Amino acid sequence: MAEPLEKLLRVPVSDLRVGVRRLDKEASHYLTHVHRAVVGTRFAPFDVEAAAEGIATLTGSDGGQATISVETVCESSALPKLRLMLIQAFGKGSKIDGIVRDATVLDVTDLWIVSTVRSAVTGSLDTPGRRQRWTKIAVEAARQCERGNIPIIDGVIAFEAALELLKSFHGAKWLLSPTTHRKLSDALSDHREGGVALLIGPEGGFSAAECALAEGAGFLPVRLGLRVLRSETAVTAALGAVASFRER
């Protein structure tokens, strides 16, 4: 009897398709050296960019590259079950890179990077280079945590434009704020169905005018705890809280 897909070793593979092919050196090393797979070993290749997975057999290894035979390909079984949007203000330096990584691992489905009054955005807001780098980071993170796909990443978007687009979002919309009395944990306890959209500001937070705009667009202010957190710390803590409630 064939081994169930969920019990097979998962190996990240690019451009997954049925047929015989050679793996790149990174995937080959992971399969044959890290996990000591031998010819005849069946495993589950997965392609996070195509949100696909399958069943394959190792048929050979030569010069550090493995040859495999992919028998089946289907939609990934490791996809997020909740629509979770993160609307994150652009930050200084490489802050967004770490946020993209954590957002991917913690099952964010849509990641929008927005420009605010206190964002450190220079030059054009929307540049392909930024999105390409963030997508590459998301792919690496999804492969590492064995997530079946990557978030849809967009930005940098003007704050007001993002709020306008979010008017049609069906689900809870929460604005992280250290000054409100309502806790994120209480909001999560009251949440019954639909998706979640989290709006998180830059270093220094949103301006009073931006907070008013967000509340006018349906965002409910919530706080994480007693401390004022750095933006990247707040992201990880908030997404971790959502993940813990999702598993209940």
CB 119 within 8 A of CB 207: no
pLDDT of residue 155: 82
Q: Give the tens place of pLDDT for each residue, 79-112.
A: 999 999 999 999 877 889 999 999 999 999 999 9
Look at residue 1 and tell me whether its pLDDT is greater than 50.
no
> pTM for the whole thing?
0.90
Domains and CATH numbers, the chain: 5-75 (2.40.240.20), 84-246 (3.40.1280.10)
Quick: pLDDT tens for 119-173: 866 555 667 788 899 999 999 999 999 999 999 999 889 999 999 999 889 899 9
pLDDT in tens, 17-74: 999 999 999 999 999 999 999 999 999 999 999 999 999 999 999 888 999 999 999 9
